[in-house]
Structure 1
Amino acid sequence: MNPPHFPAVGEPTDPDLGLRGPVRRPGAWRAHVPVVAVVALGGALGAAARFAVSLLWPTADGGFPWTTLGVNAVGCAVIGVFMVVISDVWAAHRLVRPIFGTGVLGGFTTFSTYAVDVQKLVDAGRAAAGLACLALTPLVALAAVWSAAGVTRRIVTWRQP
């Protein structure tokens, strides 16, 4: 390992590095405030939408969590469409991806509830259903995002001259 290099008097230095690492500039955190704010707002909206769906289609005690699986599949499909549109079609404002992708869709898809649903199934003596849910949810989510992105990409390229 090389010893640390301390610049000699008059030797050029990197202004972003101090003797103990990167220099924190006063007020640099302010650049992140709008992003954090829109992620929080979007997350609240997405979580509220997910909760509304769970009220409309509740899972019976000990029943398979089809609602959670459906929410994750739909949310991941929308993420697939959104990422193609935001990357290949539309030059969006810098806050669109954080508010919608990370915030709304991150709050809507519910992998924490998925984990709780698996635990509830196991606790209810339905270990096979819990294992099925454990395996099925990520497979369905990945298939949804992959297929939605693929279909969207084909539509986008088909419509271009």
Structure 2
Amino acid sequence: MLINCLAVGSGGFIGSVLRYLVGCIPVLTKGSVPFHTLLVNVLGAIFIGLIVGCSEKYISVDGELMLFLKVGLCGGFTTFSTFALESVGLIDSGRLATAILYIAASVLLCVVGIYLGRNLVVR
């Protein structure tokens, strides 16, 4: 259990630092789309897809390394990558209706959650 926690924690440290560094990239179109967050989410989704794809097709990855990469590194970089992976897993397992419900509920509830949390503090 301690090794698993260290794997997740060290991956999370690296992922969080990488997320911060992506946020430091100068953006030409300020004020339009949250470019840094979009970039982080897309890169995280691509990376977690590569990790899972490689581990399924080419190499067997041990549990600690998978925790480091998926939960730690990708989770520290963006939890959206995990959300996307879980959504694809539902679709791949033939549970399309559940996937659609999960995607819609996640987006809607998280946006509403931001409004609720922010308004609870501000007012």
TM superposition score normalised by structure 1: 0.46
Query: Does residue 7 of structure 2 align to residue 75 of structure 1?
Result: no
Query: Does residue 40 of structure 2 align to residue 64 of structure 1?
Result: no
1:14-33 C-alpha deviation (Å, 9 max, x unpaired): xxxxxxxxxxxxxxxxxx11
More RCO (CA 8 Å, sep 6+) = 2
Shift of 1:110: 5.3
Please tell me the residue identity of whatever aligns with 1:56: I
Shift of 1:87: 2.3
Structure 1 runs, 4 residues or longer, greater than 6 Å off: none
Retained in 2: the 8 A contact 1:47–1:108? yes
More helix by share: 2
Shift of 1:70: 1.2
Please tell me the residue identity of whatever aligns with 2:76: G
Q: Name 1:86's counterpart in structure 2.
A: 55
Q: Distance in 2 between matches of 1:94 and 1:67?
A: 31
The correspondence of residues 19-98 of structure 1 with structure 2, limited to 5 A, is 32-57=1-26, 60=30, 62-98=31-67
Shift of 1:142: 4.3
Q: Distance in 2 between matches of 1:108 and 1:83?
A: 16
Q: 1:110 to 1:101 in 2, by over 3 A?
A: closer
Q: Distance in 1 between matches of 2:84 and 2:6?
A: 28
Larger radius of gyration: 1
Structure 2: tracts of 5 or more residues without a match: 89-123
Tell me how large the CA RMSD over aligned residues is: 2.5
Shift of 1:63: 3.7
TM superposition score normalised by structure 2: 0.59
Please tell me the residue identity of whatever aligns with 2:69: F
SS at match of 1:95: helix
Q: Distance in 2 between matches of 1:106 and 1:38?
A: 12
Q: Name 1:24's counterpart in structure 2.
A: none
Q: How many residues align?
A: 84
